[in-house]
């Protein structure tokens, strides 16, 4: 039995790229009876960026509602908010005291901004120690992350070994796991879909707004009557991630035959998204209208998480002399 743990920052409403690339695969993994999974919303990490209380809370609800709408099962997954198990900040402090300043200076999360030091808060600088505490506090074995997070996992292993070298064994040493097979979803401009690029598809908007976003997908100026190339079309690139084999084959034919415009292709994509995610869109709306149910789900998880956290922290305190 492996304990899998991962955190997601709550920086906005998850988009189609987050859903296909991270959320659906993580839920699949959590349903594997061989795994025990911990999944949390890293709302304390978000504070390094977001200082607006309403926004912070709204993002956390939107993120949680997405996971719940896509079928995360709170019985088989420990699903919680980082800030609800504040023991993590205690462990983070201990870890910081064992980790050299000069190593923290090498973290990408800090280094990327180190040319504008006035924008770097202390939280951003010690971000990797809070992340290490997120992981070590729960005796996690496997940490599924994006490539950009591997350095933080290395720092987690490093700080755990440094603590062990000084006071003896306490922690489970985790391993990072990059999901190579996960798909890369392109945005409305053909580049990687990302909140920061403004090219996202947000499936949780109203039909009208969603349709508008899909109609804004960039396509070339081939005339309606002319045959079109599906292989380079941004709308087709998204369509093929969601459609069945026969729908894909039909769509390729439509492009090649001519007389089928990009407007038609985008309309088909819009309808496909509406059909495919109709249940999830309804459930998302339900949760966003019943925030107390999200709170209850997260509190249920926080109670389970705290049991593990307290046990690990007890081991730590004893070894370091408290």
Instruction: Report, as residue numbers or ranges, the catalytic residues.
Output: 113, 192, 195
Provide the minimum distance between the beta carbon of 9 and ligand TRP in the complex, in angstroms, as a whole number: 5
Round to whole Å and give the CA distance between 6 and 17: 17
Q: Which does 64 bind (CB under 5 to 8 A by kind): ligand TRP, ligand ADP, none?
A: none
Is residue 56 helix, strand or coil?
helix
Alpha helical stretches, state H, 141-223? 150-167, 207-215
24-43: contacts with ligand TRP (CB under 6 A): 42
Q: Which does 246 bind (CB under 5 to 8 A by kind): ligand ADP, ligand TRP, none?
A: none
Q: Is the Cβ of residue 177 or residue 240 nearer to ligand TRP in the bound state?
A: 177
Q: Which does 7 bind (CB under 5 to 8 A by kind): ligand ADP, ligand TRP, none?
A: ligand TRP
> What does residue 202 show for φ and ψ, rounded to 5 degrees?
-105, 105
Torsion of CA 81, 8, 189, 148, to 10 degrees: 150
One residue of 16, 68, 137, 143 binding ligand TRP per CB under 6 A = 143
| Cβ contact 301:80 at 8 Å | yes
Round to whole Å and give the CA distance between 175 and 177: 6
42 binds ligand ADP (CB under 6 A): no
Round to whole Å and give the CA distance between 89 and 138: 13
Stretch that binds ligand TRP, among 56-64, 66-74, 143-151, 207-215 (CB under 6 A): 143-151
| Cβ contact 168:131 at 8 Å | no
Total number of residues binding ligand ADP (CB under 6 A)?
Answer: 14
Stretch that binds ligand ADP, among 58-66, 184-192, 230-238, 266-274 (CB under 6 A): 184-192
9 binds ligand TRP (CB under 6 A): yes
One residue of 78, 95, 104, 131 binding ligand TRP per CB under 6 A = 131
| Cβ contact 78:43 at 8 Å | no
28 binds ligand ADP (CB under 6 A): no
Query: Side by side, which strands form the sheet with 77-81?
Result: 77-81, 35-41, 2-8, 142-145, 175-178
How do 77-81 and 142-145 pair as beta strands? unpaired
Stretch that binds ligand TRP, among 87-95, 127-135, 216-224, 236-244 (CB under 6 A): 127-135
Round to whole Å and give the CA distance between 119 and 49: 10
State the residue number with the nearest CB to ligand TRP.
7
131-170: contacts with ligand ADP (CB under 6 A): 146
Interface residues toward ligand TRP, by CB under 6 A: 5-7, 9, 42, 45, 131, 134-135, 143, 145, 149
């Amino acid at each position: 039995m492996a304990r899998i743990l991962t955190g997601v920052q709550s920086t906005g409403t998850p988009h189609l790229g987050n859903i296909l690339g991270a959320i659906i695969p993580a839920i699949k993994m959590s349903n594997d009876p061989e795994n025990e999974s911990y999944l949390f919303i890293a709302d304390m990490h978000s504070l390094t960026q977001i200082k607006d209380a309403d926004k912070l809370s709204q993002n956390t609800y939107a993120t949680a509602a997405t996971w719940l709408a896509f079928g995360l099962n709170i019985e088989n997954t420990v699903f919680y908010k980082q800030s609800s198990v504040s023991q993590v900040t205690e462990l983070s402090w201990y870890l910081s005291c064992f980790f050299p300043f000069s190593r923290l200076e090498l973290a990408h999360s800090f280094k990327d901004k180190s040319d504008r030091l006035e924008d770097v808060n202390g939280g951003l600088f010690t971000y990797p120690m809070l992340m290490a505490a997120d992981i070590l506090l729960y005796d996690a074995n496997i940490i599924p992350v994006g490539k950009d997070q591997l350095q933080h996992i290395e720092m987690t292993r490093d700080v755990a070994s440094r603590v062990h070298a000084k006071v003896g064994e306490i922690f489970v040493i985790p391993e990072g796991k990059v999901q190579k097979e996960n798909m890369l979803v392109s945005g409305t401009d053909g580049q990687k879909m990302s909140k920061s690029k403004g090219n996202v598809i947000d499936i949780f908007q109203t039909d009208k707004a969603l349709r508008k976003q899909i109609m804004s997908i960039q396509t070339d100026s081939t005339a309606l009557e002319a045959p079109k190339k599906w292989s380079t079309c941004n709308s087709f690139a998204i369509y093929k991630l969601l459609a069945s084999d026969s729908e894909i084959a039909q769509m390729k034919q439509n492009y090649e035959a001519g007389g089928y415009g990009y407007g038609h292709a985008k309309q088909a994509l819009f309808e496909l998204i509406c059909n495919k995610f109709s249940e999830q869109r309804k459930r998302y709306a339900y949760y966003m209208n019943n925030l107390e149910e999200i709170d209850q789900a997260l509190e249920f998880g926080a109670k389970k998480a705290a049991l593990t956290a307290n046990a690990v922290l007890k081991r730590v305190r004893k070894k370091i002399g408290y």
